[in-house]
Amino acid sequence: MRDYLKFYIGGQWVDPATPKSIDVIDPATERPAGRISMGSAADVDRAVQAARTAFASYSRSSVDERVALLERVVGEYKKRYDDVAAAITEEMGAPVALARDAQAAMGLAHLKTALQVLKGYAFKEQRGSTLLVKEPIGVCGFITPWNWPVNQIACKVAPALAVGCTMVLKPSEIAPFSGQIWTEVMDAAGVPAGVFNLVNGDGPTVGAALSSHPEVDMVSFTGSTRAGVEVARNAAPTVKRVHQELGGKSPNVILPDADFKRAITSGVRSVMNNSGQSCNAPTRMLVPNARMAEALAIARQVAEATTVGAPDSGAHLGPVISATQWDKIQTLIHQGIAEGATVVAGGPGKPAGLEVGYYVKPTVLAGVNNQMTVAREEIFGPVLTILGYDTVDEAVEIGNDTPYGLAAYVSGTDPEATRDVASRLRAGQVNINSAAIDLTAPFGGFKQSGNGREWGDHALGEFLEVKAMLGFAPKAPA
């Protein structure tokens, strides 16, 4: 059992203003795996004041000093790498290999990327007699989700540290263990007191206090679109910058000339990865009606070969995060069937032999049209919907017919045609032919998938204000 009952404020582990704790449930066993304290507005205020005090000096630190700090953080993270992976497995049921090779790995990768970008980042630009300066925005409030817990912490904290901001983090109360270890890494690396602070708690209490606090200059939130709207509402009276990475219902256009075996296999696996709990998962597969039977046969084979089991069993998929999430997924599967979808693989209920734990069958639904609930709402589980189209123009129209715009995917063998479709899909990141991840490529969405960008140099820019100093003439040559 993990007992994480203190918060990290001003460089010290401190007790909450009002003692209150909750159990953290292991989704693989449905039993408590530990406890955390639940913070209040008083705890948030204390953390924000610590961050405000620290900002005066940390915002004036040199690039070399911040490079050295990030190098220490990288070193300490490596020491705790296995602990981070184990925590993610325990808090969200991620298979051991996924937690080690993807979840924990993304935390380290974002740290290294921010470090490399910082080393060459231009904070000043001379334009005639005017000097443009990029300065840290100030105190940042971070509200992060449970599905990729360390990934989302790292892609906010790393660039903010890099540019000289101070911050208060509220990780998900459902999966808080990895955030605790991350904080221990910050402490061990010697992050100056008050620069990084941790307050656990829920969204309506700690999240609302953080996003509405007048001394917070920016709030960065990752989660559902519904919750993102509340964050923006809370932030509006203080006119702070709001950065949001929200939901998705990403189209995956399989062009008529695509390598169907490769493209559909990749598409199914991408949806099932992390038990379907990824905001950029390609959950709407668009297939030519003329090749639908072939596509369904491949999708069925891949889904049925996807194993589900305990995190340490070697299975591809572990459980989903909670009973609430399991119920939501089941409701949407049933609704899809009621609206006319056909179950190609999986379906309602738990996999055989997995009565304990929040396990979901890898599910493929066909006969779906874009007005069905399962094609409109983010299911956030291992559920793929397959839709048919007759022309490429129709595929693009269906792909864009969504309130979301986080990611899109397209596969084809004709480079020009494939790139043309990619250019027409309205999403923040478009993947062509299952391209490898690029940690320097900006990540974020169009429409109700949010605003702002994370990853790489664009991430640093999110945490900077631009100051123009007119009459700041360059020095005369010696």
Query: Which domain CATH number covers 367?
Result: 3.40.309.10
What mean pLDDT is predicted for residues 165-185? 98
Q: Tell me the pLDDT tens digit for each residue of 276-334.
A: 999 999 999 999 999 999 999 999 999 999 999 999 999 999 999 999 999 999 999 99
CA 174/CA 472 separation, integer angstroms: 51
> Does residue 77 sit within a domain?
yes
Do 267 and 233 lie in one domain? The reply is: no
> Does residue 437 sit within a domain?
no
Secondary structure of residue 391 in the 3-state scheme = coil
CA 20/CA 5 separation, integer angstroms: 9
Please give the angle made by the CA atoms of 255, 371 and 365, to the nearest 5 degrees: 60
Q: Tell me the pLDDT tens digit for each residue of 73-121.
A: 999 999 999 999 999 999 999 999 999 999 999 999 999 999 999 999 9
CA 222/CA 156 separation, integer angstroms: 10
Among candidate residues 274, 261, 237, the one with its CA nearest the CA of residue 99: 274
Among candidate residues 363, 271, 357, 352, the one with its CA nearest the CA of residue 321: 357
Structure tokens at 158: 């790393």
Split at pLDDT 50, 70, 90, the class of 478 is: low
Do 133 and 15 lie in one domain? The reply is: yes
How many residues are listed for the chain in this entry?
Answer: 478
Q: Tell me the pLDDT tens digit for each residue of 350-369.
A: 999 999 999 999 999 999 99
CB-CB contact of 409 with 368 (8 Å): no
Do 174 and 269 lie in one domain? The reply is: no
**pLDDT at residue 477, as a whole number:** 66
Active site residue 279: yes
> Does residue 194 sit within a domain?
yes
> Does residue 478 sit within a domain?
no
Q: Tell me the pLDDT tens digit for each residue of 14-36.
A: 999 999 999 999 999 999 999 99
Active site residue 245: yes
CB-CB contact of 216 with 48 (8 Å): yes
* C-alpha 329, offset from chain centre: 19
Among candidate residues 121, 173, 182, the one with its CA nearest the CA of residue 151: 182
Pairing of strands 464-469, 130-136: antiparallel
> Does residue 438 sit within a domain?
no
The active-site residue out of 279, 378, 454, 462 is 279
> Does residue 405 sit within a domain?
yes
What mean pLDDT is predicted for residues 440-449? 97
CA 256/CA 290 separation, integer angstroms: 9
- What's the CATH code of the domain at 109? 3.40.605.10
Do 191 and 235 lie in one domain? The reply is: yes
Do 98 and 189 lie in one domain? The reply is: yes
Do 459 and 377 lie in one domain? The reply is: no
Q: Which domain range does residue 239 map to? A: 2-246+445-469
CB-CB contact of 383 with 329 (8 Å): yes
**pLDDT at residue 476, as a whole number:** 64
Secondary structure of residue 331 in the 3-state scheme = helix
Among candidate residues 290, 291, 295, the one with its CA nearest the CA of residue 266: 295
Split at pLDDT 50, 70, 90, the class of 473 is: confident
The active-site residue out of 76, 90, 91, 245 is 245
Number of domains in the chain: 2
> Does residue 477 sit within a domain?
no
68 phi, psi to nearest 5 deg: -60, -40
Largest Cα span, the chain: 79
Do 238 and 257 lie in one domain? The reply is: no
* Rg, Å, the chain Cα set: 23
Residue 70 has pLDDT above 90, yes or no: yes
Q: What is the pTM of this model?
A: 0.96
Do 216 and 161 lie in one domain? The reply is: yes
Among candidate residues 161, 72, 179, 51, the one with its CA nearest the CA of residue 117: 161
Split at pLDDT 50, 70, 90, the class of 54 is: very high
Do 110 and 49 lie in one domain? The reply is: yes
> Does residue 125 sit within a domain?
yes
CA 65/CA 231 separation, integer angstroms: 33
CA 92/CA 445 separation, integer angstroms: 25
Do 279 and 376 lie in one domain? The reply is: yes
Do 426 and 462 lie in one domain? The reply is: no
What mean pLDDT is predicted for residues 55-79? 98
CA 95/CA 315 separation, integer angstroms: 7
Pairing of strands 196-198, 130-136: unpaired
Do 156 and 262 lie in one domain? The reply is: no
